[in-house]
Amino acid sequence: MRIGQLARAAGATVRLLRHYEAQGLLQSRRLPNGYRDYPPDAVDRVRWVRELLDCGFSTRQIQGFLHCYGQERADAAQCEAGLAQHREKLRELDQLIAVLAERRARLAGRMAQMFGPHIS
């Protein structure tokens, strides 16, 4: 699959795919004409990368455990480390949610004091 086809199938831009490849998140081989050729599972791989980025992981973190999501032979120790990173990310998000909930409550209280209890 050529890069334009992959971009359309994965809902990504060609530039983004080149960036993922430069980061080691996506692999291609070169055809004799110099074009990139991606394997059929590249669409799923791009979707996983995008989903993991949306969860707050960095490309460096993703590169360390992305193979655990695919059909490649995964190293158990690396996948265990990836699971630990996922758990840590959940803890970070829970902490952020708690901070934001407290800020929201404080703001709602301030609004009620200033503008009355029916404004929130």
The rounded distance, in Å, linking the Cα atoms of 14 and 26 is 12
pTM: 0.77
**Would you state the pLDDT for residue 81?**
85
pLDDT bin (cut points 50, 70, 90) of residue 120 is: low
Residue 20, pLDDT > 70, answer: yes
pLDDT band at 113 (very low <50, low <70, confident <90, very high): very high
- What is the average pLDDT score of the chain? 91
pLDDT over threshold 90, residue 6: yes
Q: pLDDT tens for residues 73-107?
A: 567 777 888 889 999 999 999 999 999 999 999 99
Q: What would the DSSP string read from start to end of 24-70?
A: TS---EE-TTS-EE--TTHHHHHHHHHHHHHTT--HHHHHHHGGGTS
pLDDT at 118 (0 to 100): 76
Instruction: Reply yes or no on whether the pLDDT at 71 is more than 60.
Output: no
